[in-house]
Amino acid sequence: MTKAVDEYYLLKGKLEEITWALEGSCNDIDCDRYMYKELLKKKYKPVLEHHFSCLSSLKREKEAVMRLLSMKKFKKFRHKLCTICKKKIDTLGEDYTIVSFTRPSEFKGQKVYQYKGISVHKKCKRKVLTPEGWEKT
Ligand SMILES: [Zn+2]
Ligand SMILES: [Zn+2]
């Protein structure tokens, strides 16, 4: 038996993959927008055009995954509290965004960047203050 939380993250990963493909980096190797085509170089000859071949099926897939993610048992994983207004946000909804910051740091003598993401509603975004020492990305 799979736990609801595992199922949720599996579906969410799938959703991210589809969203990514919709935005232009396709996961279909036959497609002209295939995400790794640079790595395949000369041998690569796409036969499909993303706009005509993939978009409608990706949209259908996205709807199907979203329907599954709307099940009651996933509600508690979807909702977070907005850092600014303290009200609920649906992390898969249109209102949700992450304001991200980085700051330079050091790890074992190497220069690295630390990352911080703040979950907010889109409308609350401009009220997020940059923490001291961090930079908005
Ligand atoms: Zn495609
Ligand atoms: Zn808010």
Instruction: Tell me the three state secondary structure of residue 2.
Output: coil
Distance 88 CA to ligand 2 centre (A): 8
- Domain stops at, among 55, 77, 99: 77
Q: What is the mean pLDDT of the chain?
A: 91
Q: Which residues pair with 31 in a beta bridge?
A: 48
The pLDDT assigned to 115 comes to 93
Q: Which pLDDT tens digit goes with each residue over 59-83?
A: 999 999 999 999 999 999 999 999 9
Strands (E), the chain: 79-81, 88-90, 96-107, 110-121, 135-136
User: Which domain does 36 fall in, by range?
Assistant: 4-77
* Ligand located closest to 50 CA: 1
Distance 23 CA to ligand 1 centre (A): 10
- Domain stops at, among 29, 59, 77: 77
Whether 73 and 86 map to the same domain: the answer is no
Q: Which residues pair with 119 in a beta bridge?
A: 98
Distance 19 CA to ligand 1 centre (A): 12
Whether 123 and 72 map to the same domain: the answer is no
Distance 49 CA to ligand 2 centre (A): 40
| First-last CA distance in the chain | 41
- Give the separation between CA 61 and CA 72, rounded to whole angstroms: 20
The pLDDT assigned to 36 comes to 87
Q: Which residues surround ligand 2, an ion (CB under 5 A)?
A: 82, 84-85, 121, 124
Q: Give the 3-state secondary structure percentages of the chain, helix then strand then coil, rounded to 5.
A: 45, 25, 30
The pLDDT assigned to 25 comes to 87
Whether 94 and 123 map to the same domain: the answer is yes
Answer yes or no: is pLDDT of 1 > 70. no
Whether 49 and 92 map to the same domain: the answer is no
Distance 125 CA to ligand 1 centre (A): 32
What is the pLDDT averaged over residues 114-132? 95
The pLDDT assigned to 35 comes to 86
Q: Side chain identity at 6, as an amino acid letter?
A: D
Answer yes or no: is pLDDT of 95 > 90. yes
Whether 45 and 26 map to the same domain: the answer is yes
The pLDDT assigned to 40 comes to 83
Whether 73 and 93 map to the same domain: the answer is no
Counted domains in the chain: 2
Q: Model pTM greater than 0.85?
A: no
Q: Which pLDDT tens digit goes with each residue over 24-52?
A: 788 888 998 888 888 887 778 889 999 88
Q: Side chain identity at 20, as an amino acid letter?
A: W
